[in-house]
Amino acid sequence: MTGRPKRGAFSPGGVAAPLRYALFRRIWLASLLSNLGLMINGVGAAWAMTQMTSSADKVALVQTALMLPIMLVAMPAGAIADMYDRRRVALASLSVGLAGAVALSVLAHLGLVTPEILLGFCFVIGMGMALFGPAWQASVSEQVPPDALPAAVALNGISYNIARSFGPAVGGIIVAAAGAVAAFAANAVLYLPLLMVLFLWRRVSEPPRLPPERLNRAIVSGVRYIANSPSIRIVLMRTLVTGIAGSSVLALMPLVVRDVLKSGAETYGILLGAFGVGAVIGALNVGSARERLGSEGSIRACTVIMGVALAAIALSHSAVLTAAALVVAGAVWMLAIALFNIGVQLSAPRWVAGRSLAAFQASIAGGVAIGSWLWGHVADLAGVELSMLISAGTMLVSTLLGLFLRMPSVGTQIADADLLADPEVKLAVTPRSGPVVIEIEYRISAEDARSFYGVMQQVQLSRQRNGAYDWSIARDIGDPELWTERYHCPTWLDYLRQRNRSTQDDRALHQRAMAFHRGPDEIRVRRMLERPFGSVRWKEESPDRATATEVLPVSGVSGGST
């Protein structure tokens, strides 16, 4: 008997499909334990703060201390992840977090922890995770094939939220039974499996054809790419606003438990566990939500439901009702964050993947950090319930962003194009020679002028994303069919990088522009050294080694990436 094959979780399109790959499975399981430790640590830190101070502001600052480092060091962390071996970067980052966890455990055991010291070591632990995040997320594409990447992203979210489901409850029990010091020590121990798995990973990476950028230049390159990528900009702005509006549920929950529900650490852990259970449910439904509602429809639904859930938490005086609202809030929160994450991962090529994911992390962490401070401050002034209600209203209003910042429709991961051969030159240049000026001449018929100009506006973003600056397009007054595209690169090495950062989509766009060219001659490309110091003859009898301007015909294959 034959029939349609069943589509299970482990089928090629199922959410658990990436677990069929041994490397991903080992790292995923180890990261689950690490996330469990972080959740236990968070419960211990938040509850310890409530015991040391009655200030809502300081309690909320625990979340700020854990999340603020991600916003502060995200872009350098992303640049480091793109420049160096991601496995080694991850190991070093986890070591920073482990050192902070061990030190906090020792100080807590000795009774030396104050609110300021607690916030300081939460910041150190957050710093380690901030450095770890981009390297870990960018390496997911090395652990699974492209068709399994969306499911792998969702599974990493599930890992975090399985830990959120059980970690707070376990943390609450540990804190109630043995105190915060035991929670801090448990976090330190649970770093070890992930460190071991990454240490044993024999990552195979192709050596780059060009030397890596300096850190400051790599950061600038990442910022420039994001600034010239409308799809990534939209995702980051929506992520930031969602983080600010929804962070009250994380920042004020200790106060909701203590002041509204009049309960203790066990209830706090159980309620955070309810939020985590909802988050797992949301992560399991990322694929179906994208398929049925699309990215924009899913995000709008999540923000509306999240707003209603936050209002229910604010008005509830029953632990059962609050737990139910937290399950709903956790589901839509995780669903929204996973959709934002997938949108960034599928919109960035490999060379800038770490920096793009770092910018995403900065957006969500910055939103949570800013929102935690904001809602804690409002709670000090107006009370916990009103602060939660204002947060709910802000979340509902954020739905309107979809009217003018619509989520991009992204199907598959952007594929890198094949590397291009370096252009032949007759002038002796070094990697640091520059600035380099590129001029490309097109002949465009009058009836195609408007369409050509529209395509060139997209070409401008493509060039600038990949490293060009001072881009311009000009039309000859005396010969209206002659158009000249012109842009700069800082050095010859930067120009070679710019040529080979093109994705397949970029190449297709460049081919569209070239298709408008008319006339018997090839498109003309001039590559010029703007300040050719050392390339001119200073004495009449000295031989001139080459001209500073070379005219090269462009073939149809490589001409789009001049």
pLDDT over 90, % of the chain: 19
Tell me the C-alpha distance between 482 and 474, whole Å. 9
Tell me the C-alpha distance between 234 and 407, whole Å. 7
Q: Which domain holds residue 312?
A: 227-409
> CA distances (Å), 223 to each of 138, 261, 525, in order?
17, 45, 28
Who has greater pLDDT, 531 or 423? 423
Residue 214 identity (one-letter amino acid): R
pLDDT above 90 (res 476): yes
Averaged over 254-264, what is the pLDDT? 83
**558: which 2 tokens?**
């490589």
- Residue 112 covered by a domain: yes
Residues 159 and 287 in one domain: no
Who has greater pLDDT, 71 or 527? 527
- Residue 416 covered by a domain: no
Q: pLDDT-based confidence at 213, cuts 50/70/90?
A: confident
Tell me the C-alpha distance between 349 and 503, whole Å. 7
How many CB atoms lie under 10 A from the CB of residue 93?
24
Residues 385 and 257 in one domain: yes
Q: pLDDT-based confidence at 201, cuts 50/70/90?
A: confident
pLDDT above 70 (res 413): no
Tell me the C-alpha distance between 291 and 71, whole Å. 31
Who has greater pLDDT, 298 or 538? 298
Tell me the C-alpha distance between 145 and 157, whole Å. 18
pLDDT above 80 (res 8): no
**377: which 2 tokens?**
């401050």
Q: Are strands 524-529 and 482-489 parallel, antiparallel or unpaired?
A: unpaired
What CATH number corresponds to the domain at position 320? 1.20.1250.20
- Residue 333 covered by a domain: yes
Q: Which residue has the tokens 């469990």?
A: 36
Residue 66 identity (one-letter amino acid): L
Q: What is the pLDDT of residue 411?
A: 53
Who has greater pLDDT, 256 or 136? 256
pLDDT above 90 (res 438): yes
Sequence-distant (≥ 6) Cβ neighbours of residue 485 within 8 angstroms: 438, 439, 440, 442, 456, 459, 471, 472, 473
Burial of residue 297, with CB atoms counted within 10 A of its CB: 0-12 exposed, 13-18 middle, 19 or more buried: middle
Residues 235 and 111 in one domain: no
Tell me the C-alpha distance between 120 and 66, whole Å. 9
Averaged over 42-59, what is the pLDDT? 77
Tell me the C-alpha distance between 89 and 177, whole Å. 36
Q: What is the pLDDT of residue 165?
A: 65
Residue 10 identity (one-letter amino acid): F
Tell me the C-alpha distance between 5 and 243, whole Å. 40
Q: pLDDT-based confidence at 395, cuts 50/70/90?
A: very high
Treating both helix axes as pointing N-terminal to C-terminal, what angle do 22-52 and 265-284 enclose, rounded to 10 degrees? 150
Q: What is the pLDDT of residue 541?
A: 53
What CATH number corresponds to the domain at position 525? 3.30.70.100
Tell me the C-alpha distance between 108 and 6, whole Å. 53
Q: Are strands 469-475 and 482-489 parallel, antiparallel or unpaired?
A: antiparallel
pLDDT above 60 (res 542): no
Q: What is the pLDDT of residue 207?
A: 64
**412: which 2 tokens?**
């598959």
Residues 470 and 367 in one domain: no
Residues 151 and 265 in one domain: no
| Residues 387 and 378: beta-carbon distance below 8 Å | yes
Who has greater pLDDT, 484 or 334? 484
Q: Which residue has the tokens 């988050």?
A: 279
Averaged over 355-360, what is the pLDDT? 83
Largest separation between any pair of C-alpha atoms in the chain: 94
| Residues 210 and 493: beta-carbon distance below 8 Å | yes
Tell me the C-alpha distance between 422 and 411, whole Å. 32
pLDDT tens per residue across span 157-172:
677 767 766 776 677 7
Short-list 334, 315, 322, 335, CA closest to 391: 315
End position of a domain, from candidates 136, 167, 201: 201
Residues 392 and 491 in one domain: no
- Residue 2 covered by a domain: no
- Residue 549 covered by a domain: no
pLDDT above 90 (res 493): no
pLDDT above 60 (res 3): no
pLDDT tens per residue across span 441-473:
999 999 999 999 999 999 999 999 888 889 999
Residues 476 and 397 in one domain: no
**Residue 258: phi, psi to the nearest 5?**
-75, -45
Tell me the C-alpha distance between 560 and 438, whole Å. 13
Q: What is the pLDDT of residue 534?
A: 52
Q: What is the pLDDT of residue 276?
A: 76
Provide the number of structural domains found in the chain. Answer: 3
DSSP lists the bridge partners of residue 390 as none
Omega prior to 435 cis, within 30 of 0: yes
The listed range with the strongest mean pLDDT (60-74, 263-277, 395-409) is 395-409
**Residue 440: phi, psi to the nearest 5?**
-125, 125
- What mean pLDDT value characterizes the chain? 81
How many CB atoms lie under 10 A from the CB of residue 430?
10
Q: What is the pLDDT of residue 418?
A: 63
First to last CA, the chain: 58
Short-list 459, 469, 458, 470, CA closest to 523: 459
Alpha-carbon Rg of the chain, whole angstroms? 27
Residues 400 and 457 in one domain: no
Q: What is the pLDDT of residue 141?
A: 73
Q: pLDDT-based confidence at 558, cuts 50/70/90?
A: very low
Tell me the C-alpha distance between 495 and 491, whole Å. 6
pLDDT tens per residue across span 103-126:
988 988 888 878 888 888 888 888
Who has greater pLDDT, 1 or 300? 300
pLDDT tens per residue across span 332-353:
988 888 888 888 877 788 778 7
- Residue 510 covered by a domain: yes
Residues 309 and 196 in one domain: no
| Helix/strand/coil (H/E/C) assignment for every residue in 422-478 | CCCCCCCCCCCCCCEEEEEEEEECHHHHHHHHHHHHHHHHHHHHCCCEEEEEEECCC
Residues 396 and 506 in one domain: no
- Residue 52 covered by a domain: yes
Residues 153 and 268 in one domain: no
- Residue 292 covered by a domain: yes
Who has greater pLDDT, 17 or 517? 517
Tell me the C-alpha distance between 408 and 505, whole Å. 15
Residues 372 and 452 in one domain: no
Residues in the chain: 562
Q: What is the pLDDT of residue 559?
A: 44
